[in-house]
Amino acid sequence: MQAFNFSTTAHLICASGAAAQLAEDCAARGARNVLLVTDAGILRHNLLDAVLPGFAAAGINLHVYSDVQADPAEELVLAATEQARAIDAELIVGFGGGSSMDTAKLVAYLAHPQQRQSLSDIYGVNQASGARLPLIQVPTTAGTGSEVTPISIVTTATGKSGVVSPQLLPDLAILDAQLTVGLPGPVTAATGIDAMVHAIEAYTSKLRKNPISDLLAREALRLLSANLERAVREPHNLEARQAMLLGACLAGQAFANAPVAAVHALAYPLGIQFHLPHGLSNALVLNHVLAFNRSHAQALYAELAPCVLGERLTSDDAASQFIEELQRIHTAVELPLRLRDAGVTRESLPELARNAMQQQRLLVNNPREVLEEDALAIYTAAY
């Protein structure tokens, strides 16, 4: 067996309604000044209503930073960090989607009183080496798995940069399906497929594939594929939404240790250039990357096929059935099917391919080498 390391969030709570006890979780860690990092949509949809009374009752000073935007920029991270310092924050809560949780990770690290590193110092892998403030993550979408990953993605002047370090792993993640009930169907669909991609790419990761991530990826894919369509059709189905949150979390644990690859590498330029939601970007290129990788990953796709097909799987060509089933799910949840349906222009494809080649941190994990002409061919097939 190949040697491997595996790390994840220390404590996980998976229960509908669990977020109502957030103040108690903060108090148990000795915090009296807490910064909650979120976005304006969370406030607009009143998702903090069940949380706020607990802080007053516990005598905790809660400050809310609600300016997070999708694909958070460096300036936003630094502004949130300044607010944490201004209130002498003793604990940081990330509350929302991946952008809020990614921002919270960096704020918890940068705002520690003894921290001497700047944001620019810690881009890359294992560059963050100091202490951080206690960190609790509360996802409100079932997609990114950021609550259990040591990764934060920041939009810079030249594109997207990642901070990857064990210091970013939270102390506690709270999975509460009640917080996801108000998600629109397209958001539920796109974030759900994002989580499925995490599981698939972790299972086929070239460099750090390992037995624990494999187990998590298979169970994640089973939960996600079995519940995504139901969660889209029945937005108030707490059972389906709790299963989606757990599936996304397991997929996050998997890819945090066996990293994602070409699907994400080709999705990032779509998000940057056309401001497409990350999950939708993944969905638009997923099947075309799978087709490209099939010559090198057919056996692995066949192993994953029972997770999405169950008893419907026949003995003939499981890898093909796997790819076809993922396409069926994409169609069933009514996301755009082609790049052109999402506003991507044909003349942009060469530039997208060039930009995808900048994601070597991800491409090295792909089971098949991806050259620029391969990326262009994949985008063209997806167009």
Per-residue pLDDT tens for 272-282?
A: 999 999 999 99
Q: Taking 90 as the threshold, does the pLDDT of residue 99 lie above it? A: yes
pLDDT confidence tier of residue 316, bands split at 50, 70 and 90: confident
pLDDT confidence tier of residue 16, bands split at 50, 70 and 90: very high
| Beta-carbon contacts of residue 58 (< 8 Å; ≥ 6 apart) | 23, 24, 26, 27
Q: What would the mean pLDDT of 51-73 be, rounded to a whole number?
A: 95
pLDDT for residue 157: 86
- DSSP conformation class of 35: E
pLDDT digits (tens, 9 = 90+) for 171-230: 999 999 999 998 999 999 999 999 999 999 999 999 999 999 999 999 999 999 999 999
Selected residue with higher pLDDT from 368 and 129: 368
Query: What would the DSSP string read from start to end of 218-249?
Result: HHHHHHHHHHHHHHHH-TT-HHHHHHHHHHHH
The answer to whether 381 touches 288, Cβ cutoff 8 Å, is yes
Q: Taking 90 as the threshold, does the pLDDT of residue 304 lie above it? A: yes
Beta strands in 50-207 (DSSP E): 61-65, 91-96, 124-125, 135-139, 151-156, 159-164, 172-175
Report in angstroms the alpha-carbon separations of 222 from 183, 216, 251: 22, 10, 11
pLDDT for residue 158: 83
Query: What global pTM score does this model have?
Result: 0.96
Q: Where are the domains of the chain?
A: 11-178, 184-382
Q: Taking 80 as the threshold, does the pLDDT of residue 1 lie above it? A: no
Distance CA 183, CA 139 (A): 12
Instruction: For tokens 């299963």, name the residue.
Output: 243
The CATH class for the domain spanning 11-178 reads alpha beta
The CATH H-level superfamily of 184-382 is: Dehydroquinate synthase-like - alpha domain (1.20.1090.10)
**Phi and psi at residue 317, to the nearest 5°:** 50, 70
Q: Taking 80 as the threshold, does the pLDDT of residue 31 lie above it? A: yes
pLDDT digits (tens, 9 = 90+) for 149-162: 999 999 998 878 89
Tell me the percentage of the chain whose pLDDT exceeds 70. Answer: 100
